[in-house]
Structure 1
Amino acid sequence: MLTAVTQQTAVGVLAFVAASCIGLVVTIYLAASWLVAPVVVTLEGVGPTTALDRSWKLADGHRWRILGIQLLLLVLQVVLSGLISALFIVGLSQDQTVQVIVQQLVNFAANIVWAPIQWAAFTVFYYDLRVRKEAFDLQVAAEALPTPT
């Protein structure tokens, strides 16, 4: 009896781990595909479905670069937030409760400062994708040329 319960539990745990891994891969893929969708909505003035489709098409062939940039931005955010937190905590009392509160407040403030930087990076990346996929830079240059009279 105990062996049957143990086997069922093991199978359930393995199924949960497998489903979680599959879900994580799908989530990462979708996040890479739809990274610039909010930028598309803002700059192109389209609806959400069109923005998701456009972001998907812009990301096609560039998902590894997108993941790399997301990872780089995440590492920068964690390192900067950690350094700022460490600077504030070193000078504080040894009371752990005070340290945790200060660390949370510093992390909150760092996230407020970091958010515009992150979205600026996403916007620059959107233009980079447009240049690579649509020759957007040539289109802008051609529109800037004077028309012959």
Structure 2
Amino acid sequence: MNQPLRPMRLGELLDRAIQLLRTNLGLFFGIALPPAIAQFAMSTAGDFFRADGRGIGYAISGLTVIVLLLGNLIITPVATAAQCWATSQLSLSRAATVRSAYGSFSNRKASLVGLAIMQGLMSFWPVVILYFVATALLSALHSKGGVAFAVIIVALCAIPCGLVWARYLLAFPATAILRTPAGPSIDRSVTLGDGYRWKVMWAGLLPLGILWALKGSGDWLIGLLNAWGPFARHSDFLAPFLVNFWNLLVDLVFMPLEFIALTLVYYDLCVRKEGLDIALMMEQAGMETIAEPAALTSAGEEPA
């Protein structure tokens, strides 16, 4: 049985996210499977594309990469919303299956793709400016000390970029729970996260750090094996394939963790700011409530 909704510190929240993932591994594994396979297929086709060099195989593999990329742009936002919805259902002690999670968004694919594009553009526009600033610094400063100085500048600029990113991280939980379009979901993320940007940012960043660390360690280990003569002689394509396969396994297990954590943050802030826990208790007791409409909707409305 899931714990009742209550305010949580960041450490408690991440611990609860890991518990939800561990106890419902089959559910989140199934939800993560389509985007993980799509990413694996796209990466593998890309390796063929780079290895082929020219000719008909080069053209076919290039076209395959484009088709898989477009498919991935559709599958990933739907899977993200499905992961948020499943976490919401489990947090409210309701049943959730892979089929019901994806079925909740079968008619909203275009809206979710639009939200993903909108969220990306609004979150990462500072990175474009940062790129040009860093490039200019690295061009102007040729010494080793100059490069180190430029790296420090980039690291310092990454903090405000992270806070901009955190403004919109709750948009997918909002659209998954409230079933709102992209614009209102973005607004909901900004409003609900106000005053808790650091908490939202770390809730999204720490699971990503686990994901990246596992992928990086697998890439490093396979790189070491690839430098070993007997291994390298088998095929030039073997090492990239093993890297892609390792990334597939990591994605299946750990990709949902970020969105579980962000959905728990969403509910945490609903409890802190809108009294969602009190509204739920009053609703279960059959009493009228004066809680915020958004909090009531997030708890009481079943997806169509």
Which of 130, 136, 147 is the equivalent residue of 1:13? 136
Distance 1:72 1:56 in 2: 20
Q: Retained in 2: the 8 A contact 1:59–1:129?
A: yes
1:70 aligns with 2:204: yes
1:47 aligns with 2:187: no
Deviation at 1:83, TM superposition (A): 5.2
RMSD of aligned Cα (Å): 3.5
Distance 2:218 2:284 in 1: 45
What runs of 5+ residues in structure 2 fail to find an aligned partner?
1-134, 140-149, 289-304
Q: Retained in 2: the 8 A contact 1:89–1:102?
A: no
Instruction: Describe how 1:93-132 pairs up with structure 2 within 5 A.
Output: 94-95=231-232, 97=236, 98-132=238-272
Instruction: Give 3-state SS (helix, strand or coil) of 1:61's partner.
Output: coil
Q: Retained in 1: the 8 A contact 2:173–2:266?
A: yes
Tell me which residue corresponds to 1:9.
none
Bigger CA radius of gyration: 1
Distance 1:62 1:140 in 2: 23
User: Number of paired residues?
Assistant: 135
Deviation at 1:77, TM superposition (A): 1.1
1:67-101 CA-partner distances (Å, limit 9, x unpaired): 22222112211233345567777888531842332
Amino acid at match of 2:232: D
Point out the more displaced range, 123-132 or 100-109.
Answer: 100-109
Instruction: Give 3-state SS (helix, strand or coil) of 2:257's partner.
Output: helix
Q: So what's the TM-score if we normalise by structure 2?
A: 0.37
Q: Retained in 2: the 8 A contact 1:40–1:51?
A: yes
Deviation at 1:103, TM superposition (A): 1.3
Distance 1:75 1:26 in 2: 18
Q: Retained in 1: the 8 A contact 2:215–2:250?
A: yes
Distance 1:28 1:71 in 2: 9
Distance 2:276 2:203 in 1: 21
Tell me which residue corresponds to 1:3.
none
Distance 2:280 2:191 in 1: 20
Tell me which residue corresponds to 2:274.
134
Distance 2:213 2:160 in 1: 27
Distance 1:138 1:127 in 2: 13
Q: So what's the TM-score if we normalise by structure 1?
A: 0.70
Deviation at 1:26, TM superposition (A): 5.5
Tell me which residue corresponds to 2:27.
none
Distance 2:136 2:225 in 1: 45
Instruction: Give 3-state SS (helix, strand or coil) of 1:35's partner.
Output: coil
Cα gap change, 1:103/1:125 in structure 2, threshold over 3 Å: closer, same or farther?
same
Amino acid at match of 2:242: V
Higher relative contact order (CA 8 A, sep 6+): 2
Deviation at 1:135, TM superposition (A): 1.4
Deviation at 1:147, TM superposition (A): 4.5
Q: Retained in 1: the 8 A contact 2:211–2:254?
A: yes
Which of 186, 192, 213 is the equivalent residue of 1:58? 192
Cα gap change, 1:116/1:74 in structure 2, threshold over 3 Å: closer, same or farther?
closer
Q: Retained in 2: the 8 A contact 1:131–1:137?
A: yes
Which of 138, 141, 144 is the equivalent residue of 2:284? 144
Amino acid at match of 1:53: D
Amino acid at match of 1:54: R
More helix by share: 1
